[in-house]
Structure 1
Amino acid sequence: MTDVVFLHGLWISKESWKPWIDLFAERGYNAIAPAWPGEADTIAETRANPDAQAGYGIDELVDHFTAELKQRETRPVVVGHSFGGLLAEKLLGRDCIAGAVAIDPAPIKGVKPLPFAQLRSAFPVLGNPANKERAKALNEKQFRYGFGNALTEEESDALWAAWNIPSPGKPLFEAGFANFSPNSPAKVDTDNEDRGPLLVIAGSADHTVPEVSVRATYGLYEGSAAVTDLHVFEGKGHSLTIDHGWREVAEVVLDWLDKQGYGATTTTSAPASTPA
């Protein structure tokens, strides 16, 4: 049985992965969604104590999850969304996991497109340098722009009420200024040819990590002979892992995992992807 570890990104609780965990368990996977450092057992507790997450950056997060993954009997596949996607890429580049799926991954060092929508989505945190050492949540309006722009206002607000949590600002600053830092923690070993396979997923309507940014991430892997695939969901925004269409995304991930030989059934056909 293949282990699958789900990593959430900024502003969304680990609890949001529950439907994915249940579906993956039905398909024969052993799936979990661990907490970020400082994230409490419940959403209410996490919201009540944002300072517990403050100050954690990319390196600290990667070290935290590396130590946790080493406790497992076999190397898992990591499925990450947003900053969870960046963390999945970091872990894969270190060759400490079997494979990775990066859904709307936060930009790694070397990604140059910076669309206005992405800047606006990050501004609630990046707009105040003091937020680097704080943990901050999005309000309903900010969430609606960054996550729920492809949804009705009612669904976006319901998702915000259900899953939003404060998250550390430091990773966003580190990724945002990665191209100006030679030793940025957002740097990933994209040339590693010994790593496991990687699937990169984008939503064409995403404001927080626009498609052009995800495609730029995908392009950084062209120097590696290891399997790297891209899939773009038309009309989906940053909420694609938690909104009403989440299962369509999950089925693409499951199909790709099967084709890489991780599932109960395997095929020799190429993973579903769109051309770069």
Structure 2
Amino acid sequence: MTDAPGRLPSSLTLVGAGKMGGSMLAGWLAGGLDPRRTTLIDPAPAPEIVALCEARGLGLNPAAPPASEVVVLAIKPQGLAAAAPALDALLGPDALLVSILAGKTIADLRTRLPSARAVVRAMPNLPASIGRGATGAAANAEVSADQRDRADALLAATGLVEWLADEALIDAVTAVSGSGPAYVFLLAEALAEAGVAAGLPPETAARLARATVAGSGALLDGSPVAADALRRNVTSPGGTTAAGLAVLMRADGMAALLREAVAAAKRRAGELAG
């Protein structure tokens, strides 16, 4: 888990401003990143990204990108090979490369980007855009204490950071917290659909499901009590919640499905390394 974050980088280049890159950028700007020393490189930026750059004074696709203290790589992992020559040109001898590419190892990055020396591999998630993200990160031996401090400040500006001693654990982080928001959104979606099947109007079911998932998450976040204890605290023996949990907690229920889902996502993260 991260300690108190240090200062944000004095200059930053973000390569790729899709859902994840754009979400992180929003978190960094909210956390005090200097937009005048921030460069964004994206061949097809979304209209909202273009508007953000114009409003805040970020450099968007300059002909000659300036050297930056930190370069953040947020393109699709499948595009790394084709983009590698242009990306390598962005890396000065003292630059820190922070990659959020699923499945792309530090060794792979250094092979494809010969100028990359100090590398942090990180896996954030979408709630980074509201400062409630969860990120796992690992650094190679060339990352100095000061560079790790810069990386930690960047990642902590978007939420929780867990530094990993073993880079191999990143694929598991990808499968749990990286993909996890989609699992939670699916829970809200499925709960609303179940409410409709039980007789509720669709709009009412959707509102109740959304508020229940959001409120329960806030309660879990704000409580020192473990998740299993909170579950037991709201489950009266022989009551309605117990009846529902008896279905969800059977051998082929939610826990088994999530284990299978996380295993599939982890496996896919490994495949993306190829």
TM-score range, shorter chain: 0.3 to 0.5
TM-score, scaled relative to structure 1: 0.33
State the structure with bigger RCO (CA 8 A, min sep 6), 1 or 2.
Answer: 1
Determine which structure has more spread, i.e. the larger CA radius of gyration. 2
